Structure 1
């Protein structure tokens, strides 16, 4: 197998195994072979079949994104930027998102757009929380990305007839069948010829699944040794629904059923018993998350659009909660998401010291890897997978670069990402995706959105025109 050497990198974000942390290593080399890192350090004197000049390069581990919906979210661009249901605590989940759902024809272009954006922002491992769709595995493999598929299944669908009450239509047998199909699909993913696909159990939402479906899916995930993720504590509506049904907060209800542990992931985990929007008579939720080792997948952008946010990232971290980061909405730009993690945490805490760039970068690398039960991604170390991002440290947006990772997250963003390798294979070169036609997919998606919006009025409970649901920025003449 050929060996690739990144020689004389200006700076490597290397993994210090003895201290279990990332460190800056200047003027260093990195070699990989067969998708595995063989050397990280100075003065590499081994064989090199291909040499990459590392001068002016920041070399860092590929980012791990533990919560994303590529099949649907790109369709919402320009539509859901400024709307949330006032009668449903400003969430857009129940009234608006269902009416702009992608049709089958649009799904492949949604996926290609999302995965292109993710690769360009340094993501090499992704958790794809989607409903199963034709050609899913091959489409993900096409991207060259490492993907954890999370086929969602549920016992009920939610809907509203008036914009202020959420109702549920139950079909428990359908949920059980969908779960069986999901585990079958996960097995197929693990056997895929690409070698980069693996799986996660994903009952869709805590309020759309029966307790039996939750317990059965968790038991099966444990038996298979895979992670388990659920949307929970993601809306005020959901918080009240669960307390009404069970007398426990969403986090407490999951804990009461014995579902939380180190391979459990809570999608969002915002509305705890001490959140100002959902004050409860207990103060246990944060401790439960920390003590069980449960991961919270933090996705700030989609909630910030509605005036909603976690209280706060730094507080969760200090209490010992494992945190990961995801892109729950468009754009699927992980570096933008990390910037917002920092800013929202500091504004919510009214304290610039509540969190650090180190904490945030860890969440996007080793925190995500831990949630997936993996110690071979999210770090640059001998024996780890060769998931590597090369950042142009000489890019004008990176200047001055007193602290290059801060310059990347707070200033340059994806504009400075030059090359990306997954399993040692180059998937981005000079800021262009090599595996998919990003521009063509985006053009197709634009046409698909016209088709979707033409049907939206029929899907809406009040039959409102699209320009009334999502008023344009300026009046059309």
Structure 2
């Protein structure tokens, strides 16, 4: 039987044995490479991993020269049509629509996407994640083009999309108590509306109560206060209390940039992690992208309180920033998971960039190696979510599986399969993905999305958003001044 014989978007009936040249099996508390082995899945679970299974199966499929891996866990998964790639080479941020100018605030911020466009971008980005071997995701999107925060209605549609496409998600609309406003060139001031932030938290909690557990548990809840400099102490205390009571994770971006550090220092007289520690808001439910500006004391607080860093190397490497360093955090005992947080949402590429940037930061070849990033993208993410049934392939784990094509003609010759995948490929060699035992992606196709229709639609939607950038840019310059072309136009 062939993989093509399985129904895309469905869970095979009965036991399914998948034979492969390489399987990343879990044994003795860690990943182990199994050569010429077999994995058997039954409904939503892994039944067996090892040499050829001798029990009865409904079907046996030889996948050939592939690497069968646990699906990746993306703790900061792009669910947006990303503009960061535009902004990186077109700075500074205050002059390029990344911070609201006072004139835009005065006229009244507005939603730059329609409700239908917000629904579409989640579905489109969820499909992209599946095509890159991501099976579990905590979505992230920009609030720069939003009227304020995200809405429960759009996330109800996101839950529908995740269930229909077959992606495991932790969902919660982003909320905030304030934002940064550009009042003069290079002058950024925080503005707060705490009542609005608390109302956003209440809406997020209501959403989680109504949606968590849908689609046989594929949809779970998380709380997503937007960025630490846009939050008040009252909002964060209530957020952490609710997360404890509901036993759900919290993701909060902090220790990630100079603007944040300067703002929090001016407001609270400390770094963000130190500020949160002062009122008991650091705990093992907290996932904190990105730690690129974390001090030694910040990292020690993360260790003491069990905070997980969501490491997203690609988006920072584009602007020359990096985590300093991956090996240092590991030595200190900081918990590390992985995220993408940009386009493309390619976890393999992020692992490759993570290895390179760590070595540029001074880590030795043995201190930060491909397998360490791979562990973070699987076991690290599972630990952050408190899910010992994810991020590993072993008996009774969830059947969340990524299959990578090791026969790709552009990925040869090969050495160790993990090193070959991380340092010699991208997520484009993802051949198939199973989530909860369901075949969610095969050969770039996702049940419930027509790429021929979706790709041009996404581009048109993105271009309409970009056209509105002058509205929210200081001085309201024309678009060609905000994003000048890399080369002059041909005449």
When normalised by structure 1's length, the TM-score is 0.91
| 1:4-23 alignment runs, 5 A limit | 4-16=15-27, 18=28, 20-23=29-32
Q: Does 1:126 align with 2:131?
A: no
Determine which of 113, 129, 133 is the counterpart of 2:124: 113
Structure 2 match to 1:215: 237
CA drift at 1:311: 1.1
| CA deviations over 1:263-293 (Å, ceiling 9, x no partner) | 21112122123xxxxxxxxx41221112221
Alignment pair present for 1:83 and 2:90: yes
Once residues 366 and 37 of structure 2 are traced to their aligned partners in structure 1, the CA distance between those partners, rounded to angstroms, is: 31
Task: For residue 182 of structure 1, report the CA deviation from its aligned partner.
Answer: 0.3
Q: Does 1:251 align with 2:273?
A: yes
Q: Is the 8 A contact 1:150 1:201 kept in 2?
A: yes
Gap change, CA 1:435 and 1:427, over 3 Å in 2: farther
Q: 1:191-340 residue pairs with structure 2 within 5 A?
A: 191-273=213-295, 283-340=296-353
Report the count of equivalent residues: 461
1:343-371: CA deviations, max 9, x gaps? 11111226444411121001000100111
Q: Distance in 2 between matches of 1:393 and 1:184?
A: 45
Equivalent residue for 2:55, pick from 41, 46, 52: 46
Q: Is the CA contact (8 Å cut-off) linking 2:162 and 2:169 kept in structure 1?
A: yes
The equivalent position to 2:407 in structure 1, one of 389, 394, 397, is 394
Give the secondary structure class of the aligned counterpart of 2:361: helix
**Larger deviation, residues 117-126 vs 3-12:** 3-12
Instruction: Tell me if the contact between 2:20 and 2:36 (Cα under 8 Å) persists in the aligned partners.
Output: yes
The 8 Å contact of residues 75 and 338 in structure 2, kept in 1 or not, is answered as yes
- Measure how far apart 1:238 and its partner are: 0.9
1:167: how far off? 1.9
Aligned to 1:278: none
Q: Which residue of 1 aligns with 2:99?
A: 94
Q: Distance in 1 between matches of 2:179 and 2:352?
A: 34
Among candidates 156, 165, 178, match of residue 200 of structure 2 = 178
Distance 1:78-1:433 versus aligned 2 partners, 3 A rule: same
Question: Could you say if the C-alpha distance between residues 350 and 323 of structure 1 is closer, same or farther in structure 2, counting changes exceeding 3 Å?
Answer: closer
Distance of 1:38 and 1:202 partners within structure 2: 35
Name the counterpart of 1:151. 173
Q: What is the CA–CA distance in structure 1 between the aligned matches of 2:56 and 2:181, rounded to whole Å?
A: 61
Structure 1 runs (4+) greater than 4 angstroms displaced: 98-103
Pairwise CA distance, 1:442:
1.9
User: Which residue is 1:349 aligned to?
Assistant: 362
Deviations for 1:366-406, whole angstroms, at most 9, x for unmatched residues?
Answer: 10011111111100011110001112222223322221111
- 1:456 paired residue number: 469
Q: TM-score, normalised by structure 2?
A: 0.88
1:63 is aligned to 72
Q: Aligned partners of 2:231 and 2:198: how far apart in 1?
A: 10
1:366 has 2:379 as partner = yes
How many angstroms apart in 2 are the aligned matches of 1:350 and 1:12? Answer: 28
Q: Deviation per CA, 1:109-135, whole angstroms, max 9, x where unpaired?
A: 322332222111110000013523432
CA contact (8 A) 2:100 2:472 kept: no
Distance change >3 Å, CA 428–CA 226, structure 1 → 2:
same
Q: Check the 8 A contact 2:72/2:378 in 1, yes or no.
A: yes
SS of 2:462's equivalent in the other structure is helix
1:187 partner SS: helix
Deviates further, 325-334 or 405-414: 405-414
* Greater mean deviation of Cα atoms: 329-338 or 112-121: 112-121
2:438 corresponds in structure 1 to 425
Which of 178, 189, 207 is the matching residue for 1:167? 189
2:425 is the counterpart of 1:412? yes
Superposed CA RMSD in Å reads: 2.3
Q: 1:412 to 1:222 in 2, by over 3 A?
A: same
Aligned residues of 2:339 and 2:347 also touching (Cα < 8 A): yes
